[in-house]
C-alpha cells in the first residue's frame, strides 16, 4: 500500500519569492515514481514534475524543482520566483513502477498555495 502525506493545508508566499511544499510518502515498493500536480479553480489537474526513485539527480522543470530525499521518504516541491498564477491547490502523488502496472496514482490531500502581492 502507498500513502502520501501533505501536512500543510495552506501556504502563503509573496510574489517573486520561493516556496517549498512538503510531501512525505510511504511505500513497500522498491521502484516508484513521484509526481506533483497543480489544480487551479477550474478543476483540471496539471502535471508539473516527475521524479523516479532511482533517479540520482533531483528533477527540475523550469521554476519547479523536486527536493527528493529518499532516506527521509520526502519529495518536496520548490517553486522559485512565485507568480500570482501559481495560486492553486498542489497535490503530491506516487505510483509503483513495475512491468504491467497501470499508472494508478495515489494522491495526498493537497496544499492550497496563495501568492500575494
Partner 1 sequence: DTGVSQDPRHKITKRGQNVTFRCDPISEHNRLYWYRQTLGQGPEFLTYFQNEAQLEKSRLLSDRFSAERPKGSFSTLEIQRTEQGDSAMYLCASSPPVSHRANTGELFFGEGSRLTVL
CA-CA distance, 44 to 82, in Å (whole number)?
20
Which of 13, 19, 88, 93 contacts partner 1 by CB under 8 A?
Answer: 93
Residue 10 contacts partner 1 per CB under 8 A? no
**Of 1, 57, 104, 117, the one binding partner 1 by CB under 8 A:** 104
Stretch that binds partner 1, among 14-22, 23-31, 47-55, 76-84 (CB under 8 A): 47-55
User: What's 68-109 look like in SS3?
Assistant: EECCCCEEEEEECCCCHHHCEEEEEEEEECCCCCCCCCEECC
- Binding to partner 1 by residue 11, rule CB under 8 A? no
What residue has cell string 520566483?
81
Tell me the three cell numbers of residue 13: 508566499
Residues that bind partner 1 (CB under 8 A): 4, 33, 35, 37, 42-47, 50, 52, 91, 93, 95, 97, 102-110
Amino acid at each position: 500500500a502507498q500513502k502520501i502525506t501533505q501536512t500543510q493545508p495552506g501556504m502563503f508566499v509573496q510574489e517573486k519569492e520561493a516556496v517549498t511544499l512538503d510531501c512525505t510518502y510511504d511505500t513497500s515498493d522498491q521502484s516508484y515514481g513521484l509526481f506533483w500536480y497543480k489544480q487551479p479553480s477550474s478543476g483540471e489537474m496539471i502535471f508539473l514534475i516527475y521524479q523516479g526513485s532511482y533517479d540520482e539527480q533531483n528533477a527540475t522543470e523550469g521554476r519547479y524543482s523536486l527536493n527528493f530525499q529518499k532516506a527521509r521518504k520526502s519529495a518536496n516541491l520548490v517553486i522559485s520566483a512565485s507568480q500570482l498564477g501559481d495560486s492553486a491547490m498542489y497535490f503530491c502523488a506516487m505510483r509503483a513502477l513495475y512491468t504491467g502496472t497501470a499508472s494508478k496514482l495515489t494522491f495526498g490531500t493537497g496544499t492550497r498555495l496563495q501568492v500575494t502581492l
